[in-house]
Amino acid sequence: MRKWLATQTMNFTGQLGAGIRYFDLRISTKPRDPDNELYFAHGLFSAKVNEGLEEINAFLTDHHKEVVFLDFNHFYGMQKYHHEKLVQMLKDIYGNKMCPAIFAQEVSLKYLWEKDYQVLVFYHSPVALEVPFLWPGQMMPAPWANTTDPEKLIQFLQASIIERRKKGSFFISQVVLTPKASTVVKGVASGLRETITERALPAMMQWVRTQKPGESGINIVTADFVELGDFISTVIKLNYVFDEGEANT
């Protein structure tokens, strides 16, 4: 099942080096774990959380003007003390690199560089309300299409930008197809990458190329297997595309 549950092949260092700056993070405990360790998880347990966060920090220490978004959006088997452990871990590893939660409109690279901030942490739990450096999860909405059909996905992505994008928050466009149980059974030997992502890539990339950034456009774009095709370079190029009206304001 690993072929169906794994959504990336590169580790944090590899993704950062390739240009990725947003990470969708899902955290879990392990049953009957005497050490109460925290793990990244997506159906299966992955690396220990502290190791991954340290890996990201090493990159940031070597690249002082780079900024990352860490979006902790799913928690499994976590009690209050697990959240406290994770919050302390973030403090110990990132310290003053973390930008306190403010109005999203105030966040610019110029502002972050002036303050020496390099990390924005979004936390989809009430715990965020108690910790100044945790941004509430609602400030990073990520509508999910939950479809295997590329055409339906594109319709959903476009409608989401028009209908759900709210001023004052960040916004994620998930260019991601989700397999049904029947799809997994039919392609159990191949996996998510071969059966779905690679086949749908041309249509999904065509949609990405036609987008424009800004308050009325896309903001953050996520995908499975980000190294496929020219996904990363295409999204990066969008940073330099502006409507004439927006460029002149």
Q: Quick one: average pLDDT of 14-30?
A: 94
Tens digits of residue pLDDT in 116-146: 999 999 999 999 999 999 999 999 999 989 8
- pLDDT at position 44 is 63
- pLDDT at position 162 is 83
Tens digits of residue pLDDT in 102-112: 988 889 999 99
Q: Per mean pLDDT, which range of 28-42, 90-104, 169-183 is the poorest?
A: 169-183
Class of the CATH-defined domain 1-137: alpha beta
List the one residue out of 23, 9, 88 whose CA is nearest residue 56: 23
Tens digits of residue pLDDT in 144-161: 898 888 899 999 999 998
CB atoms within 10 A of CB 226: 21
Q: Provide the mean pLDDT of the chain.
A: 85
**Confidence band, pLDDT 50/70/90 cuts, at residue 3:** very low
DSSP conformation class of 10: S
pTM score, whole prediction: 0.87
Q: Per mean pLDDT, which range of 69-83, 91-105, 177-191, 227-241 is the poorest?
A: 177-191
**Confidence band, pLDDT 50/70/90 cuts, at residue 93:** very high
Domain(s) of CATH 3.20.20.190: residues in the chain: 1-137
- pLDDT at position 180 is 53
CB atoms within 10 A of CB 90: 23
- pLDDT at position 104 is 86
CB atoms within 10 A of CB 228: 16
CB contact set of 91 (below 8 Å; sequence gap of 6+) = 133
Tens digits of residue pLDDT in 181-238: 455 445 544 555 555 667 778 888 899 999 999 888 899 999 887 877 899 999 999 9
